[in-house]
């Protein structure tokens, strides 16, 4: 699959087959994701593998679609607002890289904000000052959602003198 196809066919998967995904495969995908742009090589991402007990306590409405792997990805604390914004953006790029690398191997992903709240952060054990950017279920898609129509990009273009 080429990059254009990978980007245009990736979907937010909500239902997964129970087929296991080897941890080594996930670690390799995370290694690829770590090539995400990040200011001053801060690499501000921390990854938490969520096991069955943690997932049950989170009480996600679909149990993450039955995904065999669920990750919480957080960004490290920052001293200034601009550093915080840069950390968050870098982690978002990391997650996008992860999702694209996974899809290239036929592994679907989703992106949930369930861990943004304090209760979920405590259940996962996220340290003080860290911010969860996303919870990412991963696995073989049970079904592939249809493409959702996007606004024409021309509606988003603005020329300035």
pLDDT tens, residue by residue, 12-58:
999 999 999 999 999 999 999 999 999 999 999 999 999 999 999 99
Domains of the chain, first to last: 32-145 (3.40.109.10)
CA 132 to each of CA 44, 76, 118, 149: distance values in angstroms, whole numbers, following the listed order: 11, 9, 10, 29
Mean pLDDT across 110-117:
90
147 pLDDT more than 90: no
Would you state the pLDDT for residue 60?
Answer: 87
Residue 107 burial by Cβ neighbours in a 10 Å radius (0-12, 13-18, 19+): buried
Can you say how many angstroms the Cα of residue 159 is from the centroid of all Cα atoms in its chain? Answer: 32
For residue 109, give the 3-state DSSP assignment.
strand
Residue that has been written with the tokens 């991402």 in this structure: 45
């Amino acid at each position: 699959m080429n990059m254009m196809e990978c980007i245009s066919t990736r979907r937010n998967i909500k239902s997964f087959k129970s087929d296991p995904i080897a941890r080594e495969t996930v670690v390799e995908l995370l290694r690829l994701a770590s090539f995400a742009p990040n200011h001053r090589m801060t690499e501000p991402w921390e990854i938490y593998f969520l096991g069955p007990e943690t997932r049950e306590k989170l009480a996600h409405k679909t149990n993450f679609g039955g995904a065999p792997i669920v990750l919480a990805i957080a960004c490290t604390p920052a001293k200034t607002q601009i550093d915080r914004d840069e950390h968050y953006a870098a982690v978002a790029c990391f997650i996008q890289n992860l999702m694209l690398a996974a899809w290239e191997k036929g592994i679907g992903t989703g992106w949930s904000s369930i861990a943004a709240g304090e209760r979920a952060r405590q259940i996962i054990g996220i340290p003080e000052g860290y911010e969860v950017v996303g919870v990412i279920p991963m696995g073989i898609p049970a079904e592939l959602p249809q493409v959702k129509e996007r606004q024409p990009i021309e509606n988003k273009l603005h020329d300035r003198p």
